[in-house]
Amino acid sequence: MKNETPEAPLTAHSYDGIQEYDNPLPGWWKWIFVATIAFCPAYASYYHIGAPGRTIAEQYDAALAANTQLQFAEIGELKPDEATLVNYLHKDSWLKVGAVIFRTNCMSCHGRDGEGKVGPNLTDEFYKNVRTIEDIARIVNNGAGNGAMPAWSNRLVPNEVVLVSAYVASLRGQNLDGKGADGREIAPWPEPQEEPEEEQAATPTETTEDA
């Protein structure tokens, strides 16, 4: 093999006549590499082994929880009763919060928009376990189908149960293509009772959807 750059020396070895230039990596490059390795234990022990709450993900979770608290402070503790559910069924900005809860926890079984997968289609007029709007919150809390539908009472706070249930109620009637009808047709949801004052107060802050 012809050496095109005679100033670069060859290494001593030769494999099947193939030879290699002796071009080591520059010293500064190697020292940066060594420095990254030296930096590792310090980084890992600060962020991963040290006190909790230092990673960006943990700070995000904490901020999210604080934000949720802040918003929930506006509405107090909601009861999963008919009046509250029907009321929140007509509060668009809170339905968006319900939608986020749904996408996080329920989408895997009920589909992104409630069209149904393992779990029933929630967008038609047919329900297996639900007769009244309160039944939605009851089933979300307690589960159904011998655990096929998990109980959420220990994983969602009461306000989240109410908001996700109102969101589920709002899906009704869209009749999205998905899982076929399960169960039987039920009576329409009741009409909301007028509560104009609460309507004003109970609007979540802007950050809701991104959270």
**85 or 139, CB closer to ligand HEC?**
139
Site for ligand HEC in 40-99 (CB under 6 A): none
Q: Is 139 in the site for ligand HEC (CB under 6 A)?
A: yes
**113 or 182, CB closer to ligand HEC?**
182
Q: Is 129 in the site for ligand HEC (CB under 6 A)?
A: yes
- The CA–CA distances, whole Å, from 146 to 79, 119, 131, 133, 139 equal 25, 13, 18, 21, 11
User: How near is the Cβ of 159 to ligand HEC at its closest, in Å?
Assistant: 13
Among 68, 105, 153, 208, binds ligand HEC (CB under 6 A): 105
**Unique residue bearing structure tokens 């399960």:** 182
Give 119's contacts (C-beta < 8 A, 6+ positions apart).
106, 109, 110, 148, 149, 179
Contact 98, 167 (CB under 8 A): yes
User: How near is the Cβ of 205 to ligand HEC at its closest, in Å?
Assistant: 23
Q: Determine phi and psi for 87, rounding to 5 degrees.
A: -60, -50
Contact 121, 176 (CB under 8 A): yes
Strand (E) or helix (H) holding 133? helix 133-142
Contact 113, 119 (CB under 8 A): no
Radius of gyration of the CA atoms of the chain, in A? 29
- 169: tokens are 């109620």
User: How near is the Cβ of 26 to ligand HEC at its closest, in Å?
Assistant: 55
- Range in contact with ligand HEC (rule: CB under 6 A) among 28-36, 47-55, 79-87, 104-112: 104-112
User: How near is the Cβ of 148 to ligand HEC at its closest, in Å?
Assistant: 4
Among 152, 162, 170, 189, binds ligand HEC (CB under 6 A): 152
Contact 179, 123 (CB under 8 A): no
Q: Is 169 in the site for ligand HEC (CB under 6 A)?
A: no
Among 82, 83, 96, 109, binds ligand HEC (CB under 6 A): 109
**93 or 105, CB closer to ligand HEC?**
105
Binding footprint of ligand HEC on the chain (CB under 6 A): 102, 105-106, 108-110, 118-120, 127-130, 136, 139-140, 144-145, 148-150, 152, 164, 168, 182-183
